[in-house]
Structure 1
Amino acid sequence: SYTYTDARQPDGTREFRRTPHSGRADVRYLFNEGKGTVSFGVVANGRTPDVVFANPSYARSRLELDGYWLVQAAASYKVAPNVEIYGRIENMLNQKYQEIYGYSAARLGAYAGVKINFDTAPSGAPK
């Protein structure tokens, strides 16, 4: 998907922290009769207007943050009817980027877990 945003201040200048160009693409693959999934995604954000309050006067000045691309992947597998293992990797290319001037965003991150569903009543049965 692609999004164009034309957010503006009352004086006509671009709204801070609202990138005009952004997009996302995702692919998902199911296997083993839907027990497993693998997904891959790419997020793109264009250059973003921001503001900085610089020392020593803290006068406000505008600047543009660089655009960035993020690559993400995830997988899950149902090992039993009520147990699923999952994992995901975010910012796979370990990009350095900022969404707000002066505050670095998260770099490479990996997450994993187990989901257990304790609601074992058959479908349609009273609970």
Structure 2
Amino acid sequence: MPRRANTQTQQEAVQENAAVQADAGADMQMEAAITKTQPEKGVLALADVKIGDFMTIRNVRIKEDDYGLTVAMPKTKAGANEQYRDAVFFADRGTKEKFDQTVQKAYETFMHQQTDLDEEPEEAEELEQEEGGMNMGM
């Protein structure tokens, strides 16, 4: 009988711990900043992601594949055979999805701002040409 009670208590503790971890993941603040665009072949950009006030993950890669934008974690060499493995991984799928969405949104915002900056000089040149042409005729 004591074994069964002990097992039940352990299961309750595991469930309670999982609930606490889920709540912590939901409240965790994440901010991503694009640090470099097109740093290497096949990579669109690199990002640094700040998680809460306690950690920053650097060199998160943003790639584009058949499924759209993909977020890839930084890698390190592991072992004598020099295989690469993710340096950071999430134990919870929901937190990883939130992480990916944060990085993708930062990239899309960055690219939108770049597009706006590229278009503004052309508009300014057109206005100058129009104004210059009107003044010359007077």
TM-score with structure 2 length normalisation?
A: 0.25
Q: Which of structures 1 and 2 has the bigger CA Rg? A: 2
Q: Which has the higher helix share?
A: 2
